[in-house]
């Protein structure tokens, strides 16, 4: 991140987002070993990105860079001399942010609220265990309205979020386990209960 914020070709195109950024700048709640750089301006310029990674590799003692691509997402795994690695994603994400986030020096950082709406959308579509964990800690700290998050996620992604389906996805939180990544006091049963209550609240809205 330190080297990225010094590179104008990166800072004018990309912003930081995702679980690692959520933990680093807002919650300090879990371990995460990847960096997400998203752009809503234009598709990822692969040549520019790879020139940047090549430029910073000597300073970071990178011995190898592995690349994969899925549609507009370019994933790079940086392999270091000490045998550790870091995954960096550059993603074309054409969904305008709802709120202005903070800045890390010259690099924009996604707002917690936008990350929360992203998590609601992801949980509805195809959840990962860490998405439940992140949304749980966000909601516990910031007390956002679930109804507003759903409405804003619908507007942001132009995709309907059916409340019955979302409720069923929330119930699946009990089948996940990210306990090994958590850096703060955490009770998995409390998280399961939290999502069960959210699911019940959605069902109550539907049938009242």
- Cα 160 from Cα 16, distance rounded (Å): 26
Of 95, 110, 125, the residue at which a domain comes to its end is 110
Parent domain of 127: 112-208
Of 51, 86, 110, the residue at which a domain comes to its end is 110
How do residues 15-54 score in pLDDT, each as one tens digit?
999 999 999 999 999 998 899 999 999 999 999 999 999 9
How do residues 66-98 score in pLDDT, each as one tens digit?
999 999 999 999 999 999 999 999 999 999 999
Contact yes or no for 4/10 (Cβ under 8 A):
yes
Six token digits for residue 62: 């990178």
pTM over 0.85: yes
**Is 192 found in the same domain as 130?**
yes
What is the torsion angle, in degrees rounded to the nearest 10, for the CA atoms of residue 5, residue 7, residue 12 and residue 15?
Answer: -40
**Is 93 found in the same domain as 125?**
no
- Cα 20 from Cα 32, distance rounded (Å): 5
- Cα 145 from Cα 124, distance rounded (Å): 16
**Is 85 found in the same domain as 17?**
yes
Parallel, antiparallel, or unpaired: how do β-strands 103-104 and 62-70 relate?
A: unpaired
Place of tokens 């430029």: 55
Of 110, 137, 152, the residue at which a domain comes to its end is 110
The total number of structural domains that make up the chain:
2
């Amino acid at each position: 991140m330190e080297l990225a914020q010094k590179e104008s070709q990166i800072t004018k195109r990309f912003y930081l987002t995702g679980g690692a950024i959520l933990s680093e700048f807002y919650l300090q709640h879990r371990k995460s070993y990847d960096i997400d750089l998203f752009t809503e301006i234009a598709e990822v310029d692969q040549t520019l990105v790879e020139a940047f990674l090549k430029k910073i590799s000597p300073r970071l003692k990178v011995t190898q860079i592995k690349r994969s691509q899925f549609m507009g997402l370019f994933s790079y795994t940086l392999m270091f001399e000490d045998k550790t690695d870091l995954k960096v994603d550059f993603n074309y994400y054409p969904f305008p942010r709802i709120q202005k986030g903070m800045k890390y020096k010259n690099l924009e950082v996604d707002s917690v609220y936008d990350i929360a709406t992203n998590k609601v959308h992801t949980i509805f579509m195809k959840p990962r265990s860490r998405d439940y964990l992140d949304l749980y800690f966000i909601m516990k700290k910031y007390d956002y309205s679930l109804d507003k998050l759903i409405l804003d996620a619908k507007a942001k992604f132009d995709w309907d979020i059916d409340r019955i389906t979302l409720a069923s996805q929330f119930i699946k939180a009990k089948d996940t386990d990210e306990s090994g990544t958590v850096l703060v006091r955490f009770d998995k049963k409390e998280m399961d209960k939290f999502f069960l209550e959210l699911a019940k609240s959605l069902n109550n809205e539907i049938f009242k």
